[in-house]
Amino acid sequence: MKKLGEEKRYKHKLNMLEPGTKMLKCIGIMSLIGILLYAFHFRIIAFCVWAVSGIIFAILLILLVIEAHQDNVMNEIAMKENKKNGEN
Please indicate, yes or no, whether the overall pTM of this predicted structure exceeds 0.85: no
To the nearest whole number, what is the mean pLDDT of the chain? Answer: 88
Quick: pLDDT tens for 67-78: 999 989 888 888
**Phi, psi dihedral angles at 68 (to 5 degrees):** -65, -40
CA distance 38 to 43: 5
Contact 47, 11 (CB under 8 A): no
Q: In percent, how much of the chain has pLDDT > 90?
A: 59
CA distance 49 to 55: 10
Residue 3 has pLDDT above 90, yes or no: no
How do the domains of the chain map onto residue ranges? 17-85
Helix, strand, coil shares, percent, the chain, to 5: 80, 0, 20
Instruction: Give the residue, 15 or 27, on which the prediction is more confident.
Output: 27
At residue 57, what is the residue type?
F
According to DSSP, residue 86 is labeled: T
